[in-house]
Amino acid sequence: MSDILAILFASAGFDGATQGILGEGRRLADTLSCKLHALIIGPQNEPMNSSVAAIADRVIAVDQSEISEYDTEPYLCVLVAVCKQLSPRVALLANDTYSQELAPRLAHRLGGSAVGDVTELKSHLDALRVTRSVYGGKAAAIIELKRYPAVVWLRARAFAPAEMRTERVAQIEKFTLDLSGDFRACIIERKREASGATRLEDAQVIVSGGRGLGGPEPFEELRQLADAIGAQMGASRAACDAGWVPPSWQVGQTGKKVAPGLYIAVAISGASQHLAGISDAKVVAAINIDPDAPIFKRCRFGIVEDYRKVVPLLRETLSGTKK
């Protein structure tokens, strides 16, 4: 039990999160002088397979009709079977909803340990030490995992991608598992909601609204601003809980943890849970009518004013800057 396993979803493609997992997996495998295995699960994506094969030492692809769409139990059965065959020391996943749902279950079924929202991994003697934020991002905790496999999901964009190799490319191996049995749970209905072209976690610019907007209608005005600068839309938990916007927009400790180049917070006071979700943002700009709002302690640029006076001017000024 010494190799590293990167668990990837074909539906995500070769995005930033996938590249981060492979980058950290490659670094950790090289440090421990072991192999990096990559498991790609779901309807296959040949360009993704080729890119992964240029980084990992071994690539295992699982593409069956039973897993054409995500379903917790079939996916978990595949992961357990592959892990039992490989006996990895560490299994790495992304920070998407699927990974967060699967990680603790996988660790439990394998008798290992699990931890999430990791920003750093290090091997220490016979244990794995991981670093993650605690207390709403006000402190960092170093956790030592001694039960293997260590199943870890990584914070989005916290890890650099690996360089692709040209001299040695891994072969794509097919893996098939009998998934015809009954499962403990099954999906009986799926509902899809529209989303932007880019995942919120991968967005470079985000325009986010909060409780101070007062209702769902002002978010349309924010959307116009976001469209003008090519940004993704986000929101605070209060706005999502009120039903003004979809839950998938939620940014914060219990929502999406984002790391954009620019985060524009409109009418968001800046509770510690929200600030934890934007702790990796490079630049934060805030518009709030309350000069004592906590968000101003985190932002680089701040405007103390009613958003209704500022947003139209911003939209007019920034129109045409979208690249």
| Sequential DSSP letters for 91-105 | EEE-SSHHHHHHHHH
Count the neighbouring beta carbons within 10 Å of the beta carbon of residue 277.
25
Q: Which pLDDT score, from 0 to 100, does residue 320 have?
A: 61
How much is the pLDDT for 105? 96
- According to the model, what pLDDT value does residue 1 have? 59
pLDDT number for residue 87: 94
Q: What is the DSSP letter of 295?
A: H
Q: Do domains 4-174 and 200-318 have the same CATH topology?
A: yes
Contact indicator for 32, 4 with CB cutoff of 8 Å = yes
Largest CA distance in the chain: 61
For residues 260 and 205, the answer to whether their CB atoms sit within 8 Å is yes
pLDDT 10s digits, 110-150? 999 999 989 999 988 878 999 998 876 778 899 999 899 99
Place of tokens 């360009």: 47
Q: Where are the domains of the chain?
A: 4-174, 200-318
Q: How far apart (Å, rounded) are the C-alpha atoms in residues 267 and 234?
A: 12
Answer yes or no: are the C-beta atoms of 268 and 209 closer than 8 Å: yes
Q: What's the confidence (pLDDT) of residue 196?
A: 57
Assigned CATH for 4-174: 3.40.50.620
Is residue 121 within 8 Å of residue 25, measured between CB atoms?
Answer: no
Alpha-carbon span 94 to 199, nearest angstrom: 13
Q: Is 120 buried (19+), middle (13-18) or exposed (0-12) by CB count in 10 A? A: middle
Would you state the structure tokens that stand for residue 82, as one six-digit string?
Answer: 């592959």
What class does CATH assign to 200-318? alpha beta
Strand partners, 142: 131
At 157, phi and psi to the nearest 5? Answer: 60, 20
pLDDT of residue 195: 58
**Distance between CA atoms of residues 105 and 73, nearest Å:** 10
What's the confidence (pLDDT) of residue 126?
79
List the beta strands (DSSP E) in the chain. Answer: 4-9, 36-41, 58-62, 90-93, 113-124, 127-134, 139-145, 150-154, 172-174, 205-209, 232-235, 262-266, 283-288, 301-304
Can you give the pLDDT at residue 190?
A: 78
Beta bridge partners, 36, equal 4
CA distance 59 to 6: 9
Instruction: Name the stretches of the chain with pLDDT < 70.
Output: 1, 136, 193-197, 320-323
What digits encode the pLDDT tens for the residues 34-74?
A: 999 999 999 988 899 999 999 999 999 999 888 888 888 99
- Quote the CA–CA distance of 37 and 170 in Å, as a whole number: 10
Instruction: Give dist(CA 95, CA 112) in Å, integer.
Output: 19
